[in-house]
Each structure stands twice: as structure tokens, then as C-alpha cells.
């Protein structure tokens, strides 16, 4: 854990200030009644790019800009690519974003709209990653990883600092779990400030690379499949240096959800919280509704659900809501 310090997180916060929003923490009366504990939603959906990814990408790119970097590349399931494109445009840096054919078209177009190259490669995040690494080797791009990078983790960790400041007695934080940049960052900051806080990661049943890796005790490959929680897809990298060990040390529980449960969370968010969310952002709500979050007696108290992004294809959202 010595690779990251709380001072790194506070430096990241100063670096991204004015470029990234401090997001609201809003209590949900409906979810609080269900949980029999106060439940708050941390709304990263209001970021300019519609997701939390802007924090880590901005921190990493500001640091690269300070070195004179002019071209960056990343591999992304959509939201990180959009964040890199946004931060790169603001800093006057050329950006390329490599994505697989599983990335929804609305996320691809959002990257292009921000002036970045969108390169569609293969049928998995690993294929997109290989193309990004080729651009680094052959064309001199600087690589901005979607999660396994200390500047990215420190940027995402600023969410944990904001929660601790706005809700000092928080007992339980529930985080969508994918490559681990978000989980590792929030868990690190939150537990540095309050070691007693409970940290739960929530992901889909199929193709959950971090969960499979935690079970195996080392990073492993998984087959990617389509999911409503598409932003949680992709591997964690067999050479994972940071997010796997930090997550393994700090996670208290992993919750796996099927597609129908994720859909119910998305519908509840729309009908009761007045939020349009992508599937990955609704998994915390879905887990709570399904009574899958286990608040042990020592962890009774306020619960925070990280609501990560709003970048769902609206046609898909309408179909899910109509189906109920």
C-alpha cells in the first residue's frame, strides 16, 4: 500500500480542481426506508462527461501535460475514453481511444464528438488494449491506462475524500467493481480516513474479471460477454500492478448480480430517484433492492452508493423502463 499515500490523493484533488466537479451526495428516502439505514447516492453522473472517469483521466493528463506530452492513447469500454478525450481537448493534447466492438455506439460517438480518434478493434478489451500498446511502441503515444495507474487511482480516490468530508459517519460504501481503479481509489482514501468503513464491490455475474481474479488469488483472463453493465466489462490485465493488490487488501465483500437484477436497479433509479443511469451505475441500487448488501451489526449506519455514470443508449434505456 506504500505505493500510494493520502497526500497523493490530496495533490490529485488540487490538480483537478476547476476541471472536475465536486459531486453531490444526496439522500434517498426510498432506499433508506428499504435499508433501514440512511442511504446516500454519490452522483458522479453530473460530471461533464457523464461519469466518474473524468477524475482519474484529468489527474493523469495534467501530469503528462506538465512533461510536454503532445499525444496520448488509451483503451476503454467507453467512459474512460470519453474522459481522456475531454481532458486532452482541454489541455491541447491529441488523443486516440481504442475500443472493442462491444462498446455501445453512443459511447463511441461521444469520443469522436470531443475530437479524439476512436479506433474500433476486435471483440474484447484485450484486443483494444493490444492496439493501444502498438500505438505506444510504433507511433510514440503516451499511454493513459483506464485503471491500473497511480495517477488514475489517485484521481478516483478524491471521491472517497469528498464522502468522508460530507458524511463523516459513513459506515458502508458500495462501489461498482470492474478493473478496480474506482474501487481501489475510494477504498484507499476512505479506509485511510476511517479504517472501520465497510467496502463492498458490486459487479455482474458474467465476465467479472476482478471477482474471478480475487477468487483465483491472482489476475486471470475471463471471457467477455454482453451485459447491461457494459462499463464493468474487460480484463484487469495479467500484469496488474496496483488495482488488484489494493482491492484484494481492502475489499470486504463482492456481490454478483444477474441481468434481471441490474435491470430492476436501473428501473428503480428512473422511477423513484429520477435518474437516467447506465447499467453499471445502477448495480449498487440493484444490490440493495435485492437485499444483497450485508450490513453486519458493527456496520449499521449511513450507506453510500457510488452512482458512476449516465452514458446509456437512450433507446436501450427506454426499452428497459417499458419492460419494467
CATH topology agreement for domains 6-52+153-323 and 53-143: yes
Measured CA to CA, the distance from residue 324 to residue 319 in angstroms comes to 9
Residue where the block lists cell 434481471 = 260
- Residue 295 is predicted with a pLDDT of 62
- Residue 153 is predicted with a pLDDT of 98
Average model confidence (pLDDT) for the chain? 94
Distance (Å) of CA 163 to CA 170, 171, 222, 300: 8, 11, 33, 17
DSSP lists the bridge partners of residue 142 as 72
- Residue 297 is predicted with a pLDDT of 52
pLDDT in tens, 215-273: 999 999 998 888 999 889 888 989 999 999 999 999 999 999 999 999 999 999 999 99
pLDDT in tens, 114-151: 999 999 999 887 889 899 999 999 999 999 999 999 99
Predicted confidence (pLDDT) at residue 304 exceeds the cutoff of 90 = yes
Query: What's the rounded mean pLDDT across residues 4-9?
Result: 97
Predicted confidence (pLDDT) at residue 296 exceeds the cutoff of 80 = no
C-alpha cell at 298: 458493527
Predicted confidence (pLDDT) at residue 103 exceeds the cutoff of 90 = no
Query: What's the rounded mean pLDDT across residues 12-35?
Result: 97
Predicted confidence (pLDDT) at residue 324 exceeds the cutoff of 70 = yes
Higher-pLDDT residue of 223 and 39 is 39
- Percent of the chain's residues with pLDDT above 70: 98
- Residue 256 is predicted with a pLDDT of 97
pLDDT in tens, 168-180: 999 999 999 999 9
**DSSP character for 267?**
H
Query: What's the rounded mean pLDDT across residues 15-26?
Result: 98
In this prediction the pTM is 0.94
CATH of domain 53-143: 3.40.50.1100
Query: What's the rounded mean pLDDT across residues 93-109?
Result: 91
Query: What's the rounded mean pLDDT across residues 29-51?
Result: 96
**CATH class of the domain whose range is 6-52+153-323:** alpha beta
Q: What is the chain's length?
A: 324
pLDDT in tens, 47-57: 999 999 999 99
Contact 123, 101 (CB under 8 A): yes
Distance (Å) of CA 67 to CA 11, 57, 94, 160, 232: 17, 16, 15, 28, 31
Q: Where are the domains of the chain?
A: 6-52+153-323, 53-143
Query: What's the rounded mean pLDDT across residues 12-17?
Result: 98
Measured CA to CA, the distance from residue 134 to residue 96 in angstroms comes to 12
Predicted confidence (pLDDT) at residue 78 exceeds the cutoff of 90 = no
Residue where the block lists cell 503515444 = 141
pLDDT in tens, 181-215: 999 999 999 999 999 999 999 999 989 999 999 99
Contact 182, 308 (CB under 8 A): yes
Amino acid at each position: 500500500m506504500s505505493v500510494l499515500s493520502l497526500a497523493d490523493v490530496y495533490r490529485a484533488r488540487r490538480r483537478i480542481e476547476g476541471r472536475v466537479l465536486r459531486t453531490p451526495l444526496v439522500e434517498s428516502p426510498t432506499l433508506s426506508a428499504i435499508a433501514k439505514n440512511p442511504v446516500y447516492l454519490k452522483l458522479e453522473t453530473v460530471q461533464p462527461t457523464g461519469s466518474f472517469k473524468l477524475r482519474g483521466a484529468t489527474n493523469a493528463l495534467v501530469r503528462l501535460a506538465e512533461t510536454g506530452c503532445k499525444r496520448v492513447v488509451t483503451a476503454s469500454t467507453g467512459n474512460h475514453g470519453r474522459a481522456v478525450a475531454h481532458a486532452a481537448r482541454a489541455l491541447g493534447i491529441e488523443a486516440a481511444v481504442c475500443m472493442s466492438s462491444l462498446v455501445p455506439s453512443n459511447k463511441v460517438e461521444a469520443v469522436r464528438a470531443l475530437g479524439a480518434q476512436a479506433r474500433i478493434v476486435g471483440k474484447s478489451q484485450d484486443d483494444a488494449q493490444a492496439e493501444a500498446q502498438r500505438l505506444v511502441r510504433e507511433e510514440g503515444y503516451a499511454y493513459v491506462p483506464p485503471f491500473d495507474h497511480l495517477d488514475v487511482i489517485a484521481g478516483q480516490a478524491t471521491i472517497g475524500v469528498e464522502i468522508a468530508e460530507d458524511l463523516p459517519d459513513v459506515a458502508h460504501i458500495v462501489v461498482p467493481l470492474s478493473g478496480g481503479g474506482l474501487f481501489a481509489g475510494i477504498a484507499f482514501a476512505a479506509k485511510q480516513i476511517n479504517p472501520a468503513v465497510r467496502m463492498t464491490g458490486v459487479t455482474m455475474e458474467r465476465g467479472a474479471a476482478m471477482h474471478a481474479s480475487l477468487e483465483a488469488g491472482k489476475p486471470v483472463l475471463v471471457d467477455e460477454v454482453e451485459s447491461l453493465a457494459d462499463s464493468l466489462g474487460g480484463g484487469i490485465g495479467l500484469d496488474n500492478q496496483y488495482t488488484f493488490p489494493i482491492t484484494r487488501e481492502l475489499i470486504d465483500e463482492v456481490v454478483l448480480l444477474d441481468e434481471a437484477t441490474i435491470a430492476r436497479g436501473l428501473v428503480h433509479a428512473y422511477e423513484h430517484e429520477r435518474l437516467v443511469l447506465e447499467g453499471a451505475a445502477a448495480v449498487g441500487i440493484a444490490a440493495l433492492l435485492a437485499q444483497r448488501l450485508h450490513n453486519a451489526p458493527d456496520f449499521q449506519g449511513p450507506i453510500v452508493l457510488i452512482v458512476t455514470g449516465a452514458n446509456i443508449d437512450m433507446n436501450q434505456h427506454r426499452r428497459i423502463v417499458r419492460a419494467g
